Amino acid sequence: MGLADNIPLDWRLALGDVPASREFIALESFLNSEWRGGEEIYPPRDEIFAALGETPLEKVKAVVFGQDPYHGPGEAHGLAFSVRPGVKIPPSLRNIFKELHSDMGIQTPANGDLTPWAKQGVLLLNATLTVRRGSPNAHAERGWEIFTDAVAKTVSKRPGKGAVFILWGKNASAKRELIDEKKNAVLESSHPSPFSAHRGFLGSKPFSKTNAALSAMGTPPIDWNLPTAPFQQTLFQ
C-alpha cells in the first residue's frame, strides 16, 4: 500500500495527478528511507492525512496553515496545532488558546484536541505533513510543499464556494500567492510560537474575523468553543 492510498478518496480525486507525480513519488521514497533507517517520524503513518479525513473537501469553510507537525513523542496526530486529550498542551497551542480567549471570550479548553473544529469544516493543515523526532523542519523541501500547495489551490478554486485561509507564520504565508482572493478571504499573521506570537499573532483576532468573513460569504460561522474542564485554572492569569 503506497502513501497516496492513505489520502481520502474525495481529496485524491480532486488533487488529480499530484499524488502520482514524480515529486510525490520522490517524497514517498524519502519517507520510506527514513522509516527503514529507524527514524521516528511524526505523526504515525496512518495519521499523516488525518486533517483531510476529518474535513472533507466539500465541507471546508476555513483552512488553518501551520509549519510542520509537533516533533515530540505522542504529540502530532495529523491535525495542525492539535494534540490528543492527555497530552500536555504545547506552547504554540497555549498561545492559540490565549488568543481565542482574548478574541472570543472562550475559556481554557479541557485539552488540546482540535477535532471539533475540524469536523465543522476547519482544515487544520501544516505546510509539511511529517517531521523527524526532535528536528523541526527536517522534512521541509522534500516534496510536501508541492502537495499542500495543491490542497490550497484545490480549496481556493472550488466552484461557487469561498473559504477563509488563516496563514500563521512564514511557511504558511507562502501559500498566499496560490489563493484567489476575489472569492476567498485571507488572514495572515506571525506564527503562534512563543518566539513570534508577540510579533502579530496575539491580538490578530483570527477567530472573530474568520466568522465575519464566512458570514459575508453567506456561510454559517464556526463555533470555536471546545470542551472545558470544571474547576480549572485558566491560562490567562
pLDDT tops 60 at residue 191: yes
For the question of residue 10 being annotated catalytic, the response is no
CATH number (domain holding residue 41): 3.40.470.10
Task: Print the domain residue range for 46.
Answer: 3-216
The active-site residue, picked from 68, 103, 180, 223, is: 68
Percentage of the chain exceeding pLDDT 90: 88
> Does any domain span residue 231?
no
pLDDT, position 233: 45
State pLDDT tens for residues 112-137.
Answer: 999 999 999 999 999 999 999 999 88
State pLDDT tens for residues 221-235.
Answer: 999 999 986 544 444
pLDDT, position 161: 85
pTM greater than the 0.95 cutoff: no
> Does any domain span residue 227?
no
> Does any domain span residue 224?
no
State pLDDT tens for residues 32-54.
Answer: 999 999 999 999 999 999 999 99
> Does any domain span residue 221?
no
pLDDT, position 84: 96
> Does any domain span residue 225?
no
Average pLDDT over residues 12-26: 95
pLDDT, position 237: 38
Domain count, the chain: 1
pLDDT, position 230: 56
Residue 171: pLDDT band (50, 70, 90) is confident
Instruction: State the angle between helix axes of 144-156 and 22-36 in degrees (0 to 180), rounded to the nearest 10.
Output: 130
> Does any domain span residue 62?
yes
- In this structure, what C-alpha cell is assigned to residue 42? 511524526
> Does any domain span residue 232?
no
Residue 228's nearest CA partner among 121, 116, 124 is 116
Residue 27: pLDDT band (50, 70, 90) is very high
> Does any domain span residue 18?
yes
